[in-house]
Structure 1
Amino acid sequence: MSDRIHASYLIETPLEPAAVAEVMAGEQSCGTFKRVEGETDALRARARATVERIDELESADAPSLPNALLERQRTLGPWRRARVHLSFPVANIGANLPTLAATVAGNLYDLGESTGMRLDTMSVPLAYRRRFELPRVGIAGTRVSTGVAHGALVGTIIKPNVGFSAAQTAELVARLCAASVDFIKDDEVCANPDHAPLAARVPAVMAVVRDHQQRTGKLVMVAFNITDEVDAMRRHADLVQREGGSCVMASLNWCGFSAIQALRRHTPLALHGHRNGFGALSRHPLLGISYQAYQVMWRLAGVDHMHVHGLAGKFAQADAEVISSAHDCYAPLAEGLDDAVMPAFSSGQWAGTVAPTWAAVGRDDLLFMSGGGILAHPGGAAAGVASIRQAWAAARDGVPVHEAARQAPELAQALAFFGTT
C-alpha cells in the first residue's frame, strides 16, 4: 500500500507473539493497554497500525533482557522469538521525522510483554520519501567537487584526534593535500575546542586548501566537524562556505533529527554524517535498531555521506554488517528515486583492506578513509596514499595484492609494515 510505512522487528517474549504484535500495533498508533472511549472501529480502521505478518523463530532458554513486570508476575519461558511485520498509516505521522522515529521505535523498547525488541528493517513509500530532503551533493556531487571521476575517494582523518592548534592543524592539512588525498575529516571529538576554535581553524585550514587548489587545480574536500547546537552549526557552516569549503560534518546521534534537518535546509555544503554512538543502539542482537532502519531515517534528514565502519577494522562490527550497511547506503529509499548516499569506510583501514572491500562492495563509489594507514606509513603520508591507490588499482584489475606489490614499492612497504592479508 502506498500510504503506509512498513517496519519489521525482532522480538522476544514468553507470551504469544501474535498477541504481543497486536500490543505493538496498538501502542504505536491509536491504542493503549485498554480500549478507551472514542477509539471506535471506524477510527481504528483509519488510524491503527496493522500486523502484516509474523514469522516465528527459534526459542531461547533464557531472556535476553531483564523485565521487571514479567519477573513480578513470575512469567516463565520458553522465550519465544519472532519477526513481526507492522505497517503504519502515513497520515498518523506526516512529514515529521522525530515523530516517525517515535512511531516506529519509541515506547516499543519498554513494553512489558517483551524481553527483546529490535527495529530491523524499514521502508517508506515514494510519495512520502519526496516530502523529505534529498541529498544536496550525494555520490555524484562529491565526485564533481573533488574532481575524482573514477575510483574510490581516498581520505584520512586528522590525527592526533584533538590537541593541535589551528596553525598545527593547517600545517598537517597542507602535508595531506601534498600527499594527494581526496578527503580529510575532523575526528568526532574535535569540534570547537578552546585550543583550535572553528573561527580560527576553518580560515587557517582553508587557506592551505585554496593554495593547493591554485597550484594543482585539485580541491580537497575537508569535512569540518561543526557538531553543536543548531544556531551555532548554521554559523559554522556559513563560515566554511565563505572560506570556500565544500563539506561539514556532524555527529548525528547527539545532534538529533531536527538539528540535522535544520542544518541540511540551511547549507548547500556536503553533509557528512558521523554515526558515533551507533554501537549503543545496535550491538545487542535483540535490542535497538539495525543499520538498515537507522540509515533510512538519517537519509530522510538529507545527509550526503554515511559512516559504515570498515572491513577487518578495529571496531566490534562483523564484516558482514559493514558490507550490508554499505549496500543499504546505495539502495534507493523508494522505487524510482536516485537518492543514494556515499558510504564512508573507516576504522583501521589501510592498503591491505582494499581488496576485501572491493570484493564485497563491487564498486568504488565510496570514501575509503585511512588514518594510521596513511599517517603511519613508513614512507610518509604520500606513500600511504599511494599504497592505497595501488591496492585499489590491483583490486579493480583482479590482481592479487602481493603480486601487485612487486611493482609498487609503497604497497610493498605497507604490506610489510602493517601486516599481510
Structure 2
Amino acid sequence: MIHATYRIETPLDPARVAAMMAGEQSSGTFVKVQGETDAINARFGARVVGVEVLEEADTPSLSSAYLERKGAKGPWRRASVEIAYPEDNVGVNLPNLAAVVAGNLFDLGELTGLRLMSLELRPEYRDRYLRPAHGIEGTRKAVGVFERPLFGTILKPNIGMSPNETADLVEKLCEAGVDFIKDDEIAGNHPYAPVEARVSAVMQRVRAFRERSGRNVMVAFNITDELDAMRRHADHVQAEGGSCVMASLNWCGLSALQSLRASTPLVIHGHRNGFGAFARHPALGIDFAAYQTLYRLAGIDHLHVHGMGGKFADATEEVVEAAKLSLTTLGSQDDRVMPVFSSGQWAGTLPLTYDKLQRHDFMFLAGGGILAHPDGPAAGVASLKEAWQSIEAGTPLARSNRPALASALDFFGGR
C-alpha cells in the first residue's frame, strides 16, 4: 500500500470527509454508480488508516463556494488524515502516483484547507522507479572531494553575459578553487547566449583547467526546456566533456525528469524554484517531505533545500528537515540525493548548517558570498574553506585569524 498523510481543514466531520477523500481518489465518487461492486472496492478502494483532530479555528483558511452554498458554519476542524492506496491503482507510473495521492483533493468543496504532508512507500515499491545515477558518492567521486562539504557558486550576473563572458567567469571561478558552478535558474536558451554555444565556450575552459590542474570542477548547465530540447542539450554537454545538467523541477515536471534521467548518464541537479507556490501557505499545497519523495522517484542526483539564515522565507528547522529527508534512503539500496544549500549563504552561515545537520554530505552554494567577497572570488572560496577548518578545529569563526574568513566576517557579518 501507498500511505499518504494529509493535513485537512473542514467544518464537517473529519472522519466522513476522510472517507470521501479515499473514495474520490480510488474506486468511488460522490454517489455509488453501476458497476461499483464490493469486489472492486475491496481490491482497489483506498482506506482511511487514521484521523486525528488537531485543533479548531473560528475562521476558514480558504474559501469554498460549495460550503457557502450549503450554509456551513464553523468551527473549522484541522485534522491529520492518513489514507492507504493500493499499489495496483498506480503500477509504476510517477505522474499517476502524484494524481492519485493529490489530484482533485485540493479542489474538494468540503475542504477549506488541504496539504499533502508525506508519502510512505514500501522499499520494494520504491525500487521499481529510477534511482540517482550518481547521488552523493558519484558526485564526490566526480569532483574528487570526500572529507568536507562541496563548495560552489552560482554564475552572476544571472543573465546578460555572452558565451565568452560566461566562460571567462567560469575560468576565474575554477582558478579560485570552487568545486561546483551552476547556472542561475533563469539562465536559458537565450538569443544572445544559446545553450550549446555557452556549453562549448565554458567546457573549453573547464577542460583546459582540468588538464593543467588535475581538478575537475562540476558545472551544472541549466537545460530547462521542453523534453526533446533538454535531451539535445544534455547530449551536447556530454559530448563536450561536461558532467552535470540542471533542470527546474516544477516547470519541467515529473515525467520530463524521468525521461531525462533515462536518456543521460550525467548528474542531474534538481532546482526546486517555485516550490513556495506549493508549500508556503501552511493550509495548502505539498509539504517538502512528500515533494522530495516524488521527485526522487524521477532519479535526480541533487536537490535544493534553500539555506539557513538566508534570503528566503523558510525557517531554519524547515531547511534542516529538508536536508535530512534528502539524506534518508527510501528504497532497499542507497538512493540518497545531495542536499544543496543556497540563498544568501556565505562563510558565516556554514557553522549553523553543519551544527544542525551534523554531517558533511551536502553542497554549499554561495553566490554573493564568493563573488562579492571584498578581496575577490578566490578569497570568497578561501573564506568557506577557512570556515570549515575552524569548524573542524572547534574554533568559533570570530576567533579565527584566517585572513579571508576575517574579511568575510567584516563585510557580510552585519548584513
TM-score range relative to shorter protein: over 0.9
Higher mean Cα deviation, 298-307 or 35-44?
Answer: 35-44
2:161 corresponds in structure 1 to 164
Task: Tell me by how many angstroms 1:17 deviates.
Answer: 0.4
Q: What is the SS of the residue equivalent to 2:57?
A: coil
1:361 maps to 2:360: no
**Of 120-129 and 340-349, the range deviating more from structure 2:** 120-129
The secondary structure found in structure 2 opposite 1:388 is: helix
- Distance in 2, matches of 1:278 and 1:9, equals 18
Q: Distance in 2 between matches of 1:113 and 1:105?
A: 15
Of the three residues 135, 141, 145, the one matched with 2:142 is 145
d(CA) in 2 for partners of 1:26, 1:92 = 13
Unaligned runs of 5+ in 1: none
For structure 2, list consecutive stretches of 5 or more residues without a partner in the other structure: none
1:414 aligns with 2:408: yes
Which of 379, 389, 392 is matched with 2:388 structurally? 392
Tell me if the contact between 1:358 and 1:396 (Cα under 8 Å) persists in the aligned partners.
no
Taking the aligned partners of 1:55 and 1:383, their CA distance within structure 2 comes to: 53
SS at match of 1:273: strand
Find the counterpart in structure 2 of residue 248 from structure 1: 245
- Tell me if 1:188 matches 2:185: yes
4+ runs deviating over 6 angstroms: none
For the pair 1:213 / 2:210, whether they are aligned, the reply is yes
SS in 2 for 1:57: strand
**Aligned partner of residue 65 in structure 1, secondary structure:** coil
- Residue 38 of structure 1: CA displacement? 1.2
Mapped partners of 1:156, 1:82: distance in 2: 42
How has the CA–CA distance of structure 1 residues 420 and 150 changed in structure 2, closer, same or farther, with 3 Å as cutoff? farther
Q: State the Cα deviation string for residues 43-80 of structure 1 (Å, max 9, x = none).
A: 11100111001111010110000101101111000000
Pairing partner for 2:92 from 91, 95, 102? 95
Q: Which residue of 2 aligns with 1:278?
A: 275
Equivalent-residue separation in structure 1 for 2:165 and 2:404 (angstroms): 26
User: Aligned runs of 1:299-314 on 2, under 5 Å?
Assistant: 299-314=296-311
CA distance in 1, matches of 2:396, 2:30: 61
Partner of 1:287: 284
Aligned length: 415
Look up the SS of the partner of 1:268 in the other structure: coil
**For the residues of structure 2 that align with 1:59 and 1:397, how far apart are their CA atoms?**
49
Q: How well do the aligned residues superpose, as a CA RMSD in angstroms?
A: 0.9
Contact 1:154 1:183 in 2 (8 A): yes
Aligned equivalent of 1:268, options 265, 276, 291: 265
Paired amino acid for 2:370: I
SS at match of 2:203: helix
Task: Answer whether contact 1:120 1:293 (CA < 8 A) is retained.
Answer: yes
Match of 1:22 among 19, 28, 33: 19
Q: 2:399 aligns with which of 373, 397, 403?
A: 403
1:420 Cα deviation after fit? 5.4
- Listed one character per residue, the Cα deviations across residues 252-293 of structure 1 (whole Å, up to 9, x for unaligned) are 110111111110000000000000110000000010000010
340-349 vs 126-135, which moves further: 126-135
Distance 2:57 2:360 in 1: 41
Offset at residue 42 of structure 1 (A): 1.3
3-state SS, counterpart of residue 189 of structure 2: coil
Distance in 1 of aligned mates of 2:211 and 2:19: 63
Residue in 2 that maps onto 1:135: 132
Give 2:256's aligned amino acid.
A
Structure 2 length as normaliser, TM-score?
A: 0.99
Q: Which residue of 2 aligns with 1:61?
A: 58
Alpha-carbon separation, structure 1, partners of 2:240 and 2:100: 41
Q: TM-score, normalised by structure 1?
A: 0.98
Displacement after TM superposition at 1:302 (Å): 0.2
Deviation digits for residues 210-239 of structure 1, max 9, x if unmatched? 111011100100000000111110000000
